[in-house]
Amino acid sequence: MSSLPNLSLNNDWVCNTFELDPDLYEFAHDGQPVADLRAWACDRRYDDGWAAWLQKTFDLPMTDVCINYTLRIARAPKGTVVSINGTRLGEMNNGNLFEMDVTDYVTLEDNVIRFRVICGGEGSFGDIILEGIPCA
């Protein structure tokens, strides 16, 4: 059985960089656009004691068939926390492939995927794909 077309989540992100110290909690950049997440790096001025929230909104296509959705992140900076629609899905401790069925966490409209990344951490982002797979 063939899968439906993949939805690339590589482009059109927004970055908010913030102070990790809860007593000093402040944003350095509020809503800076990130054209391609695979080319993103935290501003070096904020390496020590700062983190970034990277966020993207997306909608899913309406279909006439039952579909399950799998999120595949080829690579991410070590320690990246992944969430969809406010639900924390996990942390990428080794920085390599993250793959998870997210069917129960996505809707047709107004989805938000977020990554919390510690600035100055090891690694970079690879392809981020949401794959639609027909239900068995």
- How would you write the pLDDT of the chain (136 residues) with one tens digit per residue? 444 668 999 999 999 877 666 555 555 556 789 999 999 988 777 667 788 889 999 999 888 889 999 999 999 998 899 999 999 999 988 767 889 999 999 999 999 999 999 888 788 999 999 999 988 7
CA distances from 10 to 41, 47, 57, 75 (A): 14, 23, 11, 12
Please state the domain extents for the chain: 6-134
Entry pTM: 0.85
Domain 6-134 has CATH 3.90.470.20: no
Backbone angles phi, psi at 107, to 5 degrees: -130, 175
